[in-house]
Amino acid sequence: MSKLFLRHGEVHNVKNIMYNDIPGYRLSENGISQAKKAGMYLKNNFNIDLIISSPILRARQTSSYVAEFLNVEIQISYNLYEWSGINGWTGTSFNEFSQTQDYPKYQENPINVTNISESLHKVYERVDSLYESSENALFVSHQDTIRAFTYYKTEGKDFNYEKPDHCGIQEIINGEVVTHNY
């Protein structure tokens, strides 16, 4: 039984901002290429019966490109939605938010940041309910959403360890996060 996580592909972000859940942030050309490459890898290595995607555009686009290779249905789930992140960061430049007092805390361990509207444990809980009720599924989501899930599911020690790259594929095997390199 396969239960895999795929982070969306690289985003077209010409303003270089923390886009979080701002509408309209689509995949870049490189992101499209990443999604197609992931689709081919998944087709050749796993039995996936269903793609479950975050409703955010970049995840839906990634899911669509992957589905072309897998020939499976895509379901949308808000359980895979982007973590809301640090209050006040959305829409700011990377330079701006990296100067905030919360940035060092986020870099060290996001679990300890308190200036948030949703805890990372709550993110884990919403993803876990979907994970436990699915089989042979590919979950297409976002970096901190995926990492919150894998961190708590494996009782991780370092939140910043094993964060998925764009179109990074991960699964949990015997209580460990396994990253598939392709």
- Binding site for substrate, by residue number, is 58
Tokens of 51: 């793609």
Beta carbons of 25 and 12 less than 8 angstroms apart: yes
**CA nearest 11: which of 28, 33, 30?**
28
3-class DSSP state for residue 137? strand
Beta carbons of 137 and 5 less than 8 angstroms apart: no
**CA nearest 160: which of 122, 94, 106?**
106
Q: Give the residue numbers of the binding site.
A: 58
Torsion sign (Cα): 97, 99, 101, 102: positive
